[in-house]
């Protein structure tokens, strides 16, 4: 079973309380092109054990079940499982830290655990450079979102 963990951060000129809510199933609809999800529960309000499903998303996912593992809004922290049956399990952590009144550092960690040959092959090819480019795109998309919404 293969396993990999990558972490990267970026800083963006937005208050932490404005930025953090965008790292949720509903929030990502605002800034991630093509992002959509199916709500499995009765509420769209984010909380621990909240479950939703996607049919396509990052890293070649065909379908995934997402489960919120930790949700600490006062600390601007969210951690979730991304389960891709018969392929891999991801643990995604987003921590937003206020570095100034209108400036936030976003720390993003992706950890993947292979469940099959295809999941292990993905992990074997998931380089740190690819991950940095992937998270760099998050920053670009967020900057573009705030430019268009102001």
Going from the N-terminus, what domains does the chain have, and what CATH number goes with each? 3-149 (3.30.530.20)
Query: What is the per-residue pLDDT across 26-60, written as a single tens digit (0 to 9) for each?
Result: 999 999 998 889 988 777 788 999 999 998 766 55
Instruction: Say what the pLDDT of residue 122 is.
Output: 93
pLDDT mean across residues, the chain? 93
Task: Reduce the secondary structure of the chain to three states and give it as a string.
Answer: CCEEEEEEEEEECCCHHHHHHHCCHHHHCCCCCCCCCEECCCCCCCCCCCEEEECCECCCECCEEEEEEEEEHHHCEEEEEEEECCCEEEEEEEEEEEEECCEEEEEEEEEEEECCHHHHHHHHHCCHHHHHHHHHHHHHHHHHHHHHHC
Query: What is the per-residue pLDDT across 52-98, written as a single tens digit (0 to 9) for each?
Result: 999 876 655 578 999 999 999 999 999 999 999 989 999 999 999 99
User: What average pLDDT does this structure show over 126-143?
Assistant: 96
- Closest C-alpha to 111, from 86, 133, 94: 94
User: How far, in Å, CA of 88 to CA of 57, rounded?
Assistant: 14
Contact (Cβ atoms closer than 8 angstroms) between residue 9 and residue 132: no
Instruction: Say what the pLDDT of residue 43 is.
Output: 76
Instruction: Say what the pLDDT of residue 132 is.
Output: 96
Sign of CA dihedral 83, 140, 44, 70: positive
pTM for the whole structure? 0.93
Instruction: Say what the pLDDT of residue 149 is.
Output: 87
């Amino acid at each position: 079973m293969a396993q990999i963990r990558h972490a990267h951060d970026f800083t963006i000129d937005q208050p932490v309380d404005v930025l953090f809510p965008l790292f949720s199933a509903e929030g990502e609809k605002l800034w991630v092109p093509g992002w959509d999800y199916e709500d499995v529960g009765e509420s769209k309000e984010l909380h621990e054990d909240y479950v939703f499903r996607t049919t396509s998303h990052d890293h070649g996912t065909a379908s995934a079940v997402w489960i919120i593992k930790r949700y600490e809004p006062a600390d601007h922290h969210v951690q979730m499982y991304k389960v891709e049956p018969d392929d891999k399990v991801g643990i995604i952590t987003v921590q937003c830290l206020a570095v100034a009144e209108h400036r936030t550092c976003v720390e993003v960690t992706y950890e993947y655990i292979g469940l099959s040959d295809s999941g292990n092959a993905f992990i074997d090819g998931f380089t740190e450079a690819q991950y940095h480019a992937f998270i760099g795109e998050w920053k670009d998309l967020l900057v573009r979102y705030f430019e268009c919404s102001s």
